[in-house]
């Protein structure tokens, strides 16, 4: 059995989380992990905060929780529609308060 050991400075990680204003939900490990697994984890770290990310397929994409992704998709659709009916890139940039490059990226993307 191969073991992967990560060298992590947990103190600086915790300081960065506190500085950024991110608040993570704290759960006691002995309340959720089986005793044998907890003993294995304690071989690597004791008394420190450890972040366990969600699996890739379960993780939500940016903006899904807040609804901002839906807003941007709708806005971009409006921009594409207006471009197709003849508004210029300059007019769209002015109307939507975006740069010309941003409008180009939206109208020329798939």
pLDDT digits (tens, 9 = 90+) for 3-41: 555 555 556 656 665 665 656 677 888 888 888 898 999
Listed in sequence order, the DSSP H helices in the chain are 10-20, 29-32, 35-42, 68-84, 89-96, 100-108
Whether residues 74 and 101 share a domain: the answer is yes
Confidence at residue 20, expressed as pLDDT on a 0 to 100 scale: 59
Q: What is the pLDDT of residue 13?
A: 58
Does residue 57 lie within any of the structural domains? no
Evaluated on CA atoms 66, 70, 72, 74, the torsion sign reads negative
Nearest-angstrom CA–CA distance, 45 and 29: 12
Residue 30: its pLDDT value, please? 85
- How far is residue 67's CA from residue 70's CA, in Å, rounded to a whole number? 5
pTM of this prediction?
0.49
Per-residue confidence (pLDDT) for residue 27, from 0 to 100:
81
| 89, 83 Cβ separation under 8 angstroms | yes
| Structural domain that includes position 1 | 1-52
| Share above pLDDT 70 across residues of the chain, in percent, rounded to a whole number | 77
Say whether both 20 and 47 belong to one domain: yes
């Amino acid at each position: 059995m191969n073991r992967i050991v990560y060298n992590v400075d947990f103190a600086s990680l915790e300081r960065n989380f506190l500085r950024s204003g991110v608040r993570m939900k704290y759960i006691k490990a002995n309340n959720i992990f089986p005793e044998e697994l907890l003993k294995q984890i304690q071989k690597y770290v004791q008394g420190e905060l450890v972040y366990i990310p969600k699996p890739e397929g379960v993780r939500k994409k940016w903006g899904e929780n807040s609804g901002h992704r839906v807003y941007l998709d709708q806005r971009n659709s409006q921009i594409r529609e207006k471009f197709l009916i003849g508004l210029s890139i300059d007019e769209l940039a002015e109307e939507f308060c975006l740069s010309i490059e941003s409008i180009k990226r939206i109208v020329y993307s798939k």
